[in-house]
Each structure stands twice: as structure tokens, then as C-alpha cells.
């Protein structure tokens, strides 16, 4: 015997509720949950973009400080404490000319002068020269003082001073008895180049 649904109101109500629940679940699964995932993904992307905007704002806030440091670096490059020139070759040649002039003004004689290899110490670039000179001890002292008190600043980073092999033995009563003994000096001298704009 067939059951007539019209005669069983409880079964009809149950079936109605079941179909409505199935339809609601279908709507949730097909429409609402994907929308919820889409909104959650959008919120995540917005949060990432907010973080990026905050970082960019922090970088933009640093602009005045960066400009100030850049200006300081430019002003450092023009300072007289550093060796200057259009390139390393010209700077080295100018340095050798200056050292020769200072040495000769102090009463010493330059036997040879050559450029040293460029170097960097604690991030500061240096150029230098090796000078071989000779003269009385007082003249060598004056030359070294002139070099180390000059502007741009120069530093003697290596020195060898010894009696000259060319000095003749002096005899008491000889015409050149008042001559001072001659010494040979080999000096390694360096000067700093202006810092590069690294900021």
C-alpha cells in the first residue's frame, strides 16, 4: 500500500525542513563560504599592503635625514683635510710633487719617489708615496715635521732611517769638519681621499 504524503503531515513537515536545510547548505557551500574566503583573502592582502605602506612611510620620513647626510658628505668632499683631484693618477702625481717640494724646502735631497698601491682602512680610501731621501738629521726631522703637519693631512706609516753609505769619513781638522753626518731615509706616506657618497 502506497503511503500518501498528504495524509502524513509530520512526514511532510520533516521533508520540508530537510529540503530547506539542504538548500541552505547548498547556498552556504556554493555562495557564502567562497565569498567569506574571498573577503578573508582581501583582508589579508589589505593588511600586507598596510604593512608595505607603513614601511614606505618610514623610508619617506627618513628623507630629510638622508638629504642632510648627503649634504654633509658633499661638504666633507670639499674639505681641505683630504687629497683632491679628478682621478687617482693625478692625485698621486700631485702628492709626489708636494712631497718633493716639502723635502727640498727642509734641506733634504730626494733620491727617488714612487706611488704606493691604493689602500683602504676602516672604509677610508688612502693614496700614498714611497720617498727615498737623504740629508742631515735635522733636515730629515724638518721634512718629516712638514709632511705630518701639512694640509691635506699626510701620515708617515713606515720609516727606515740609517746613516748614509755615501758619507765620507770626516777627519778632525779637515776643511769639511763642520759638516753634519748624512742619513738616508725611506718613508711611506699616505693621505686620505674624501669619503664617497654611500648614503
Confidence (pLDDT) at 5: 55
Residue owning grid cell 693625478 = 90
Q: Which residues are CB-contacts of 134 (< 8 A; sequence separation ≥ 6)? A: 108, 109, 111, 164, 166, 182, 183, 184, 185
Dmax over Cα atoms in the chain, in whole Å? Answer: 157
Confidence (pLDDT) at 69: 74
Q: Which residues are CB-contacts of 133 (< 8 A; sequence separation ≥ 6)? A: 103, 108, 109, 110, 111, 140, 143, 184, 185, 187
Q: How far is residue 195's CA from residue 122's CA, in Å, rounded to a whole number?
A: 11
Q: What's the topology of domain 88-170+177-192?
A: Alpha-Beta Plaits (3.30.70)
> What phi, psi does 187 have (nearest 5°)?
-120, 140
Confidence (pLDDT) at 136: 93
Q: Which CA distances in Å does 160 have to 131, 156, 187, 188, 198?
A: 11, 11, 7, 9, 37
Specify the pTM. Answer: 0.55
Confidence (pLDDT) at 154: 93
Confidence (pLDDT) at 84: 84
Tens-level pLDDT at each residue, the chain (199 residues): 455 655 577 777 777 778 888 877 777 677 767 777 888 888 888 899 889 888 888 888 888 887 777 676 665 556 778 888 888 889 999 999 999 999 999 999 999 999 999 998 888 899 999 999 999 999 999 999 999 998 889 999 999 999 987 654 444 554 554 567 899 999 999 999 887 633 3
Confidence (pLDDT) at 164: 85
> What phi, psi does 103 have (nearest 5°)?
-65, -45
124 has which bridge partners? 121
For strands 119-121 and 109-115, give the pairing: unpaired
Domain ranges of the chain: 7-61, 88-170+177-192
Q: Which CA distances in Å does 12 have to 5, 15, 53, 104?
A: 6, 5, 59, 121
Q: How far is residue 28's CA from residue 22's CA, in Å, rounded to a whole number?
A: 10
Amino acid at each position: 500500500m502506497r503511503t500518501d504524503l498528504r495524509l502524513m503531515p509530520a512526514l511532510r513537515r520533516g521533508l520540508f525542513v530537510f529540503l530547506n536545510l539542504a538548500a541552505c547548505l547548498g547556498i552556504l557551500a556554493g555562495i557564502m563560504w567562497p565569498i567569506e574566503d574571498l573577503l578573508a583573502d582581501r583582508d589579508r592582502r589589505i593588511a600586507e599592503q598596510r604593512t608595505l605602506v607603513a614601511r614606505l612611510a618610514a623610508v619617506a620620513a627618513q628623507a630629510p635625514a638622508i638629504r642632510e647626510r648627503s649634504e654633509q658628505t658633499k661638504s666633507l668632499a670639499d674639505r681641505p683635510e683630504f687629497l683632491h683631484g679628478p682621478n687617482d693618477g693625478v692625485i698621486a702625481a700631485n702628492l709626489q710633487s708636494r712631497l718633493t717640494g716639502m723635502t727640498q724646502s727642509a734641506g733634504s735631497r730626494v733620491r727617488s719617489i714612487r706611488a704606493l698601491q691604493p689602500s683602504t682602512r676602516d672604509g677610508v680610501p688612502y693614496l700614498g708615496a714611497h720617498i727615498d731621501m737623504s740629508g742631515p738629521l735635522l733636515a730629515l726631522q724638518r721634512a718629516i715635521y712638514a709632511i705630518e703637519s701639512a694640509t691635506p693631512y699626510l701620515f708617515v706609516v713606515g720609516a727606515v732611517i740609517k746613516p748614509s753609505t755615501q758619507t765620507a769619513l770626516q777627519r778632525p781638522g779637515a776643511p769639511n769638519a763642520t759638516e753634519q753626518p748624512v742619513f738616508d731615509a725611506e718613508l711611506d706616506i699616505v693621505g686620505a681621499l674624501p669619503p664617497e657618497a654611500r648614503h
